[in-house]
Amino acid sequence: MMISAIVLSGGKARRMNGEKAFRVVNDKYLIEYTADLLNEMNIPFVIVFRNDGEKSDDTKNLEKDFFKKYRQTITWDLEGNKGPLMGILSGMRVLNAKWILVLPCDMPLISRDAINNLIKYIDIAEKEKKNCIIPMHENGYIEPLFSLYMRSSMEVLDRMLNKNSSNKNLSMRNFIEHLSPLYVDAKKIDETGRAFININTLEELKRINSKFQ
């Protein structure tokens, strides 16, 4: 398989007062929007949950129920408190595809068209010897968690995470600076920008729920 996906669900979501992945939008868990779409598109994927001792029993049970429902590969961060880079590395370790689609768990308006539009750039990236494809908005803001990475970039992740005991410079932007990125116009991925909307606060959760009513 040329493409597989990682769905990152490891954030502590302090502004959400709980596990972001299992917040409800229009009677579905946030994470289900991404999982259902990937299933519909026949893209194999792995869910990466955080691995620490702070999870409640309720959260652990939700993770178990999610696995029973989707029968999807689930893994946990190899090491805690390393941010999304550790989540990506943990996911890449269990996938074998040449290209890895990295997505967050909190984009309820994610669409098939947006994912397909991103995938279309793989041929260009390979011709230009680029190893990641990153949407970029007009203001220079990038979407590193709605992007494609070659699995070979795992070597860079390994070096960054193994050499960095202080957790400094473990940002997505710093990771990308060590790669050879192909930046693509975010409007070419989703002209409306709706697919990139993610939920970070309870107010945003309330607002997105109101759109479905």
List residues forming the annotated binding site. 8-10, 20, 77, 106
Q: And the tokens for 148?
A: 């494609």
Instruction: Please report the sign of the dihedral spanned by the C-alpha atoms of residue 99, residue 105, residue 110, residue 112.
Output: positive
CA–CA gap between residue 84 and residue 147 (Å, rounded): 13
Is 134 in a helix, a strand, or coil?
Answer: strand
Kind of pairing, strands 28-29 and 24-25? antiparallel
Q: Angle of helix 30-40 relative to helix 112-119, nearest 10 degrees?
A: 60
Show binding-site residues for Mg(2+). Answer: 106
What number of helices (H) and strands (E) belong to the chain? 9, 9
180 neighbors 131 (Cβ within 8 angstroms) = yes
Strand partners, 147: 102
34 neighbors 132 (Cβ within 8 angstroms) = no
CA 95 to chain centre: 14
Which has the closest alpha carbon to 7: 49, 41, 42, 40? Answer: 49
Show binding-site residues for GTP. Answer: 8-10, 20, 77, 106
